[in-house]
Each structure stands twice: as C-alpha cells, then as structure tokens.
Chains A and B, each alone.
Chain A
Amino acid sequence: MGIKVTVNHNRCVGSRLCVGFLPDAFKLNGQGQSELITTGGVNAEEFVQTAGQCPQSAIKVEDAETGEVLFPPAELEM
C-alpha cells in the first residue's frame, strides 16, 4: 500500500521523537520542526506507530490511493 505522510507545522513542537524512532524517515528543518525525508523503506505500520508517539498528534498518515486516514483517529483531532 502506498502511503502519504504529512507533518502539520501548526502543531509540531520539535520534540524530535519521530526523528528518534524513524531517523531515516524524519529530519528537523531550520525551525527545529520535523519534516519528512521519505516514506521509502518504512512500512505503514511503522509510520502509524511513530505518529502515535507524537505528543502533538502532528503527523498524519494516509493511504495514498484511497485517502483513508490511518492516523490520527478522529478523536485525537483538535
């Protein structure tokens, strides 16, 4: 399954947890916020796990074909 991962910079506080858990997929930008490097080599489940570690629920994981949101669940939306 192809996935789409986005980081919401109106929510990201730069905890670096995603970088710690998936260093090949995330890096910090010049503002100290997280940015996706690539979705390659990481499966959807790992992205969902890591997105769940974000204290701000700033990482959104979607099915690239259907647009189905795999994370965060609706109740975590602010």
Chain B
Amino acid sequence: MEALILKDDLMAPEVVADPHTYYRKLRESERVHWNERWKGWVLTGYKEVVDVLRDPDHFSSDRMGYLENELTPQEREEIAPIFKVLKYWMVFRDPPSHTVLRMLLNKLFTPTAVERYRPMVRKIVQKALDKVVDRGKMEVVHDLAYDIPMSVVLELIGAPDLDREKIKEWSEAIGVFFFIKADEPRRREIACEGITSLVNYIEPLIVHRREHPGTDMISLLIAAEEAGQITYNDVLGTCVLLIFGGHETTMNLIANGTLALMQDSDQWTLLHKKPELIKKAVEELLRFDGSVKSTVRWAKEDVMVGDKLIKKGERLLVSLSGANRDPLQFTAPDKLDITRDPNLHVAFAHGIHVCLGASLARMEAEEAFAGMIKRISCPRLPEDAYLNYYPSVVHRALKNLPVTFHKL
C-alpha cells in the first residue's frame, strides 16, 4: 500500500475496490498530499476538507473554466457540446451566479418540500419488494435502488413519462467524462453524444412547459428566466444537471448502504428492532460509504491548507470519504454505528455547494432501508458473488449487488 501511495495511482484496482484503506494510509502519512500523477493536491483530513469546502472565496468550483484553459482550441471545439451545457451547471459555478440559481431552486428541495414525494417512494419500494420477497433473492441496484431516484426526479421536473432507459444510457455516456483518467480513449466523444441526445430530448419539454406552465421545476426555472433572473442556458443546463445528477448517486447510496448493513449484521438487527433509528442510520451510511468519494476545487490565489502552501491555479482533490473516516473527527471511524450522534459528515459536501438534493436522497434512502428491514432478513452475498465497482475516482458505484435473504 505504501508503494501504491508513492505511485499515486487513484485508479489502481485495489484503490477502487477499497478506497478507505488507501485514504487512511494517505491521511496517516500526509493529510495534504501532492499527487504527482494527477498533478494536484489530495486532501484526506476532515478539518482540511471542511476548511476548503466552506471557503468559496479562496477555492473555485469553476471546473469548465479551468478545463478550458488547459485545452487547445481544437480540443475545445471537439467538446463544444459539453461546454455549452456544463458551463451552466450550478455545481461548477462560483458566486454570485451560483447564489442566484441555488436560492431559486433550493425551495423545491428543502427537508419539508421533499416530504411530498415520500408516499410515492414508499409505494415504489413496496412494489419492488413485492416482486422479490418470495424469490428470496434480488440484485439490489437494478431490482430496488435504480427505480426510486429516477421516478422522483422525473416527477420533480414534471415529466414522469420520459424514457428512463434512454436517460440512463445518455447519463452513463455523460458520466464517462467525469471519470478521472478513465481507461476510455473516446471518453469525450461519448460524452458529447450523450449530452447532445439528452439536450435534444429535453428541449421540446421546455418549449411545451413555457406554453403550459405548471408547479414543476421546469416551470419555476422558466418563470425566473422570464423575470430576467436567469438565462435560457441556465434553464437548460439545470434540467440536464438534475436529470443526470438526480438518480445515479442516490441509487449508489442505497446499494452501498445495503452492503454496509449486510456486512455488519448486528447493525441490521439493531435497525430492525429499532426502526426509529432510521434517520441516524442513513446519516451513518452516508458517512461510512457514501456514493461520492471526492470533489475538486481550484485555488483562486496562494493559500495555506493544513501545513501546505497551495499555489494559485492548483487543483485539489477533496476526499469526502477520507474526511468521513478521520479519527480526529469521528470516534472509531471504521466502525458502522447507526446510533452515531453527532455525525457532521461531509458525504454531501459542505459549504455553498452542499448537495441540493441532500434531503431528497435522505428521504429516498430512509424509505428503501425501512422497507427492506421490515420485510426481509439481513441479506447475504451469494458464495460466488464478486463485488465490482466502476473505475472512478469520484463515484463509489457498485456495478451490481446480488443478495439472498428470506421473507419475514
């Protein structure tokens, strides 16, 4: 492992399979570490991570702006379709333009606002479990986790009938762009195709909603555009962002959380006996093995992080999973403890870019786990099962999670 740290290979199969061990070793040796291969700083300590995330004055999220500077004019031209949309994603913007969009959209995503989707989520979970309980086995990602966030996000934008298979396919294509050093030479081309298809699919919906406004997210965005608060590019970019970002991460959270509870069956049993612990349990599952391992920032000027001087323009890989297992912040960080309180994890990041859909994801995960705990025994991995994660520095994403159980 020490040799691996020296090689700085964040995509090594053993790091993808078990990022926590890698980040623990890295944190123990150097909390702010220059990764020569990635040409950026890797932060694995809680305090350093939180300091950076809560400080948008010194650390930028303008990913597309920094990327644009690194590319040749020809490369820029090749990925123009990506720039045209991603430039307007809230996640890649700094104040003040970030602030306008965030404050506008936030009202649809508050802890109170997302409760309106709970009955719908409960039904989806029930239906998914109805299909598998007698079989005694399921594949958690596709039989349960996938459908929940996708249904909710389509409901939220007011378009429940969109073609989910197509959206999934295009979202995966866009996702290829974000896999740092992914072993896919055509990754930019694939992402361009994905984003163009998704844009072509969504634009008629925006046109229609402009003529027939409702109470959905697209109508809210259009109203703000017409009031001069945001632009059409903001409307389109935000729709793409929500559809793309709205389903995969929550799906992964449900799969990772199920696996974590399975591997510590005492915790599964405790939750079964005390279902009132569900909110704390979800927080702990987010901390223990959340679906986003890291996020990236750029130094706007020379600035100290921990004991290291970060130079203007340098990038930082902010390890959320690293911070979430820092023993200086969490007692026995490698132990799953669904009663942990307080639990100020960074699974949704901190600061102005804290996940817009955090409350939605929490509610969806609560319903998924509460549903399972009630109706099935603690699942087990079949003997021939092999846990396979997508090769990504950013996402903690199981390709599938086959489990067996018995009906309660």
Contacts and interface: CB of A to CB of B under 8 A. Distances in A.
Interface of A: 10-11, 13-17, 20-21, 31-33, 52-55, 57, 72-73, 76, 78
Contacts of A52: 110-112
Given A31-B54, A78-B280, A13 B110 contact: no
A31 B55 CA distance: 9
Interface of B: 50-51, 53-55, 99, 102-103, 106-107, 109-112, 279-280, 283, 341-342, 344, 346, 348-352, 354-355, 358-359
B256 to A, nearest CB: 20
Given A14-B53, A20-B103, A54-B110, 8 more contacts: A10-B342, A13-B354, A14-B354, A15-B350, A15-B351, A55-B348, A55-B354, A78-B279
A17 B106 contact: yes
A78 B54 contact: no
Nearest to B351: A14
**5 A-B pairs with least C-beta separation:** A32-B54, A10-B342, A14-B54, A13-B350, A78-B279
B351 A13 contact: yes
**Among the interface residues A11, A16, A31, A52, which one has the most CB atoms of the partner chain B within 10 A?**
A16
A24 B46 CA distance: 30
B344 A21 contact: no
Contacts of B279: 78
Nearest to A58: B344
Contacts of A10: 342, 344
B110 A55 contact: yes
A32 B344 contact: no
Contacts of B112: 52, 73, 76
A32 B50 contact: yes
A53 B107 contact: yes
A11 B359 CA distance: 13
A23 B251 CA distance: 36
B352 A55 contact: no
Contacts of B355: 55
Contact of A53 (B110, B283, B346, B348): B110
A78 B351 CA distance: 20
Nearest to A71: B112
Given A10-B344, A20-B103, A78-B280, A72 B111 contact: yes
Nearest to A8: B342
Contacts of A53: 106-107, 110
Given A32-B50, A55-B111, A76-B111, A15 B344 contact: no
Nearest to B279: A78
A31 B279 CA distance: 26
27 contacts: A10-B344, A14-B54, A14-B352, A14-B354, A15-B350, A15-B352, A15-B354, A16-B351, A16-B352, A17-B103, A20-B99, A20-B103, A21-B103, A31-B54, A32-B50, A32-B54, A52-B112, A53-B106, A53-B107, A53-B110, A55-B106, A55-B109, A55-B110, A55-B354, A76-B111, A76-B112, A78-B341
A49 to B, nearest CB: 10
A72 B110 CA distance: 12
A57 B342 CA distance: 14
- In this complex, the member of B109, B110, B355 whose beta carbon has the largest number of chain A beta carbons within 10 angstroms is B110
A32 B55 contact: yes
A33 B344 CA distance: 12
B344 A13 contact: yes
Nearest to A9: B344
Nearest to A75: B115
Nearest to A33: B54
Nearest to A13: B350
Nearest to B342: A10
